[in-house]
Structures are given as structure tokens and as C-alpha cells.
Amino acid sequence: MISKKMKVLVENSSTIRAMFEEGKRLAKIHGEENVFDFSLGNPNVEPPETIKSSINKILNTEHPNLVHGYMNNSGYEAVRTKIADFINHKHNLDVTQNNIVMTCGAAGGLNIILKTLINPGDEVIVFAPFFGEYRNYVSNYDGELVIVPPDIETFEPNIEVLKEKITAKTKAVIINTPNNPTGVVYSEKAIKELAKTLLEKEEEFGTSIYLISDEPYREIVYDGIEVPYILKYYKNTFICYSYSKSLSLPGERIGYIVTNSKMDDFESVMSALNVANRILGFVNAPSLFQRVVADCIDAEVDVEIYKRNRDLLYNHLIELGFTCIKPEGAFYLFPRTPIENDIEFCQEAKKYNLLLVPGSGFGCPGHVRLAYCISYEKIKKSLAAFEKLAKATISK
């Protein structure tokens, strides 16, 4: 008796659940320490110590009805002001609290943006490989997902194909940099070309095309690389930020949207985000954690831990003969599968107790995602299993 849309979704998600069940089954047979689960993007690096002391400070100094009460659906004004100041200082901008809506993570942010923008049949463009949930988020509002196929040499957005895909019905383009699943940070050159193309197409079609930048991995970068701040390159930009990875707080559902003040219909867009936050049932981002992230505005997790993991696993895969881009951000590797069928490859991996995610789920078959946000020791222990997998699948 569930709805037709949900029936399909439940059936699809059962395949993923089947994989988790398989993981549990393997753990029972071989012991949990011998099963290598690279399937989940759940940070293993600890949240900064200041999170705890900040919670204590807030609970000890503020009135509980203010700490845990309702506020404006867009979030506390003081929190939004503090975040705006932080952004301005870091990126030399001049946003205010009026540019910011506190959200239930980036997932909440993306949903209220799409609710705000999408009429049924409107097109939303994504660049493969892309986070699979975008498919569902766009479908929630009866939008049409349009996929730009991957450039598997660089995993940068393919601007030439983008030009062909944009139509009068294109309402938005979603990018995700640093990227899940590739770990690639889009270059400033690519962002500039993207912005230029969108502007040209806006003029060509007489439409507004909004750029939505999903940025939960912004702070998880290595080797001193700079992540371009998209707000600076294109006026019709939404940034969806999340503290899930930057402060290792994924379960707390806390993030924000920041927009460019020069955006088309800025006032009504901001009002609509506020209303969408309410009517989709979020109501507001969790209140205590709004104050916590404002209080910990300078805090960071120890990214070196992820970097060590990346280097260990990446170097090992390359030595074994896998082809893989060296990621400069996020905590994923996205090697090509030596056999064409990535789902079969993941089945093969399971024989060695390796749990990996097929690239097909990200719109990029022939690849596989490894989430290396697990302990260094576990990765070390897994290397022998990857060796066996390489022997079984890489032809000489």
C-alpha cells in the first residue's frame, strides 16, 4: 500500500541493505577484525575537543528554553552573523546573516533549495560521477535529472558536453567539490569555464540557471590545495555546507546554505528557503548544535589522519597495478575496475572480505569507491586482501 515512487526506492535500497547484511554475515564467519568495510563515508577522525567544552559552556551559561527552543526557521540570527563574518574573513566577501539559512546538514540544504526552485519537469544537471542521492532529491520535486557523462581521465566537469545538455528547461546544476566519489577538487579553471558557460546559456535562453555547490568535504583536503569558493565566480550560486565531515558530526545534522546577494530574485529565494525549511518538516536546524558550530567556528579535525590513510591505500593500489586518480580531497579513492563490470568486481572483492561500492551507483560504471575513513591499522591489515583481489582480476 506504499506509494508507487516509494516502492521502487525500497526495492533499490534493498540491494544496498543486502550488501550490509552480507558484511554482517562475513563478520560472523571470519570475525569483525577480518572484514574490511570500505563502504561507508562515516568519519573515523574524532570531532575536535572543543565540541564537548562548547556544549558544556552553552548549557551552563544560557537559559535552557533559549538553547532548546524554537527560533526563526532560518536559524538564530547571532549564529548566522557569526558564520557570515567567518566566510567574509576567509574568502574576502560581504555576506550577512540574510544570505544564510541554517540547515539539517547538506542533505537538508539541497532539499530545501530544490523545493524552492523546481517545477515538475524542470531539469537539473549533474556531472558523473555524482553522489547517488542527488537522483532522489531531484525526484522528490518531480525534476528531471540530466547526467553529463564522466571524463574518466581527470574527473573534472565536462564543460563541452554541459553546453549540449543545457536547455530552456535547465533550472539548476549541482556540483560537488571536493568530489564524492572521486576525491577530485575541481580546478579554478574548470569553475571559471562552468560559470562562463552558465552565464552564456542564461543569456541564450533568457532564463536563470542556479549553480548548487554541495560542499561537505571543503575542509578535507591535502597537499595544501585550494578549493575555489564558488560564490565568487557566479552570482546565481547556492553553497550547501555541512559540518558532518569538517567537524565529524554527521549524526547531528547541522550545516547551512549561503547564497550570493546578487542572485536573481534574491529576496524571494531567501524567503522561500525559510518557508521550505518549515514545510518540509525540518522546521529548523537542531538548535543546540547551531550554537555549538558558531562557538567552534575555527575548529578543525585532524586531516593528516585521512592523508596518511590515503597515501597508504593509494600507493598500495598503484603498486598492485590499479589505475586511480590521486585524490586531493574527501576520503574516497575511485579506481577503475580491472574487469569491466564493477558489480561483479565488488562481488569478487567480497571473497577477500573487502566491502566496496560499485561506481554504477554514482553514474560511473567500470569504477569502484573505497571510503578510507577507517583506522590506519585496519587499512594496513586489508592490504593483503587487495593483493589477492589484484591477482584475481588484473590480467598480466
Window 7-36: residues binding a second copy (CB under 8 A): 7, 9-10, 13-14
Whole-number minimum distance, CB 12 to a second copy, in Å?
9
* 47 counts as binding a second copy under rule CB under 8 A: yes
Task: Kindly tell me which of 215 and 328 has the beta carbon lying closer to a second copy.
Answer: 215
286 is an interface residue for a second copy by CB under 8 A: yes
Residues 194-233 that bind a second copy (CB under 8 A): 208, 210
Question: Least distance to a second copy from the beta carbon of 43, Å?
Answer: 7
Does residue number 250 form part of the binding site for a second copy (CB under 8 A)? yes
Exposed, middle or buried: residue 266 (CB in 10 Å: 0-12, 13-18, 19+)?
middle
User: Binding a second copy by CB under 8 A: which of 173, 220, 221, 276?
Assistant: 276
- Other residues' Cβ atoms within 10 Å of the Cβ of residue 66: 12
Tell me if 395 contacts a second copy by CB under 8 A. Answer: no
Q: Is 121 in the site for a second copy (CB under 8 A)?
A: no
Of 86-94, 145-153, 267-275, 348-356, the segment contacting a second copy by CB under 8 A is 267-275
Binding mask 305-344 for a second copy (x = CB under 8 A): ----------------------------------------
Closest to a second copy by CB, 51 or 190: 51
3-state SS of the chain is CCCHHHHHHHHHHHHHHHHHHHHHHHHHHHCHHHCEECCCCCCCCCCCCHHHHHHHHHHHHCCHHHHCCCCCCCCCHHHHHHHHHHHHHHHCCCCCHHHEEEECHHHHHHHHHHHHHCCCCCEEEEECCCCCHHHHHHHHCCCEEEEECCCCCCCCCCHHHHHHHCCCCEEEEEEECCCCCCCCCCCHHHHHHHHHHHHHHHHHHCCCCEEEEEECCCCCECCCCCCCCHHHCCCCEEEEEEHHHHCCCHHHCCEEEEECCCCCCHHHHHHHHHHHHHHCCCCCCCHHHHHHHHHCCCCCCCHHHHHHHHHHHHHHHHHHCCCCCCCCECCEECCECCCCCHHHHHHHHHCCCEECEEHHHHCCCCEEEEECCCCHHHHHHHHHHHHHHHHHHCCC
Should residue 357 be labelled a site residue for a second copy when binding is judged by CB under 8 A?
no
Number of residues engaging a second copy in binding (CB under 8 A): 75
Residue 275 within binding range of a second copy, rule CB under 8 A: yes
Find the shortest distance in angstroms from Cβ 257 to a second copy: 12
**Contact flag: residue 174 with a second copy (CB under 8 A):** no
Q: How far is the CB of 230 from a second copy (least distance, A)?
A: 18
Residue 181 contacts a second copy per CB under 8 A: no
Q: Under the criterion CB under 8 A, does residue 4 sit at the interface with a second copy? A: yes
Binding residue (CB under 8 A) for a second copy from 186, 289, 306, 334: 289
Smallest distance, Å, CB 154 to a second copy?
A: 30
> Is there binding between residue 56 and a second copy (CB under 8 A)?
yes
Q: Contact between 79 and a second copy (CB under 8 A)?
A: no
